[in-house]
Structure 1
Amino acid sequence: MIKEWRRRRALQRVKPGDGRPLIRLRWWQLPFRALFHLRLTNDDGRPAVYAVDVRHWSNHASDNLKAHLYRDGRQHAISKLPAAFPVPGGTIEVRMSAFGLKRCHYVTAEGAEYQLDPDPHSAEGRRARLERGQPALSRTLGLLSLGVLLASLALLIPQSAEQLTKAEGIAHYTGTFISPIDLPRWGNTALGLATATASTERALRLRYSRLLDGGS
């Protein structure tokens, strides 16, 4: 019920596009632009190519998260994120985390879900090509990212518990917890960078966990 309510709200945010052409993805846009494609058949029986274009950093900088939907190379619709674009046979759902896209899927009217194909020139497309061409290396990178996030969580929980129980109102009832782990400032900085890198790698594969990756 809540999921359907969220989808209806997302559909209400969709605005018509102005027909501008889709700009080709450039190599220097790799860190902050995601581009995905989907081939469908329109209601009149003609094939159409849909594209979802999201600018990562510019979206976060303006605090105005938007996704652009193109049909056959022309802007068809635009929506704030999270977005749900109505297309033939279902909707295209787009959601973003602090590290990139966490969802870009075509959801049919029957409820089946299919991830859109990343543009081969995008960062997501290059990561997908690595997975196809070198699956062993791809799995190793995925496991490494997961391991970094699990280690980060294990280190963060006791330190956070210590800071929380230092408050007088809480310490009065629970006592003060002393963390067995006390990283120096540079250690916490290095851990933060490693965590951000791991979450970014997972975002390139549209993998997301609220517990591990955080963000929104």
Structure 2
Amino acid sequence: MDHDDQPDDRHTHAARPPPSPLWRTMFRRRKISKRLAKVQPGDRSALKDFRLWQGLHRSLFYLDDAVEPQQPGPEGAAGSAGTAEPAEPTPVYAVDVHHLADELSDQIGEEGAKDKKVTSPAALYRDGVQVHRSDLPATFPVPGGVVDVAISMYGLTRMHYVLDDGTERTLRPDRTSLEGLRARFGRRFPRTSSAIGAVAVVVLLVGLVVAAPLALEMVTRLDIVSDRFGTFTSPINLPAWANTTLLVAGILAATERALTLRNHWLVDLDTTGTALG
């Protein structure tokens, strides 16, 4: 096996989270129920191969090892040698995300034909056949749990297989997608990859430090606020070229975070809200 084809530990190892507070567990279950309610049956279309030129508007991930429920064997089979049925191959699930697709209700209507073939914002495929589709953010039912999908204006923020016990892991990106290319780069050059990730965090935090007082200044300019609390003037006043540089660097940093499916409520503050729907 080539070094480039070695499995990415970030995509293969499950992380068991610490026990969550009751309120957080209830919020997560309510969010999952809300998203599952908007999932529609798939149109049974075949999954199309990923093309390199689709990288800017499409993401494709795979789940190869969903936890299939145990099927009870035939009565008496346990005591009979050589009568066990051969194990069926584990189905491969795929999640196809089209970032620029219109919402399903706009394409097929609230009472439209449920089997109408459209480009879904997010779709779940089982062995290459579409079985579910949904608007984003989306949660798809799969054996053993759900697949949680969320995006921001810069790309994906979540593409996780969440088991019923709360354990979760990231799905495997298609090797020709931007996420797949970034993952392969990380495996080939782990130190450089870590350095890029660290720089992205620093850039976003610097942008947050600069933006926070400016936002506070704008809020205090409102009459209803200034009349009661007075006004605030930001001590940070960067030249135009510095603002432009920070803006471009911030976009690149946010894109880097999206390609590696990393998201933190503070570091990625400007993208967090879009993933909570």
User: TM over 0.5, yes or no?
Assistant: yes
1:49: which partner in 2? 92
Deviations 1:162-190 (A, max 9, x none): 22222233223322222121234454343
Mark the structure with the bigger radius of gyration: 2
Equivalent runs, 1:169-188 vs 2, <5 Å: 169-188=224-243
1:69: which partner in 2? 124
Moved more, 83-92 or 140-149: 83-92
Question: Per-residue deviation at 1:41?
Answer: 5.9
- Find the residue that maps to 2:267 and give its secondary structure: helix
TM-score normalized with structure 2 length: 0.72
Question: Per-residue deviation at 1:211?
Answer: 3.1
Matched residue count = 215
Q: Give the % identical residues.
A: 43
Higher relative contact order (CA 8 A, sep 6+): 2
Q: Could you say if the C-alpha distance between residues 168 and 14 of structure 1 is closer, same or farther in structure 2, counting changes exceeding 3 Å?
A: closer
Q: Could you say if the C-alpha distance between residues 56 and 127 of structure 1 is closer, same or farther in structure 2, counting changes exceeding 3 Å?
A: same
Q: Tell me, in whole angstroms, the C-alpha distance in 2 between the residues paired with 1:58 and 1:193.
A: 25
1:82: which partner in 2? 137
- Find the residue that maps to 1:48 and give its secondary structure: coil
Q: Could you say if the C-alpha distance between residues 82 and 191 of structure 1 is closer, same or farther in structure 2, counting changes exceeding 3 Å?
A: same
Q: Tell me, in whole angstroms, the C-alpha distance in 2 between the residues paired with 1:166 and 1:16.
A: 50
Give every structure 1 segment of 4 or more consecutive aligned residues whose post-TM-superposition deviation is greater than 4 Å: 41-45, 62-65
Moved more, 156-165 or 121-130: 156-165
Deviations 1:33-81 (A, max 9, x none): 1110011365564311100010123359x99882111111111110112
RMSD (CA atoms): 2.2
TM-score normalized with structure 1 length: 0.90
- Find the residue that maps to 2:160 and give its secondary structure: strand
137, 153, 172: which is aligned to 2:192?
137
2:15: which partner in 1? none
- Corresponding position: 1:110 with 2:165: yes
Q: Is the 8 A contact 1:35 1:51 kept in 2?
A: yes
Deviations 1:113-143 (A, max 9, x none): 1110111111111111111110111011101
Q: Could you say if the C-alpha distance between residues 110 and 194 of structure 1 is closer, same or farther in structure 2, counting changes exceeding 3 Å?
A: same
Question: Per-residue deviation at 1:192?
Answer: 2.3
1:37: which partner in 2? 62
Which residue type is aligned with residue 93 of structure 2?
Answer: Y
- Structure with more strand by fraction: 1
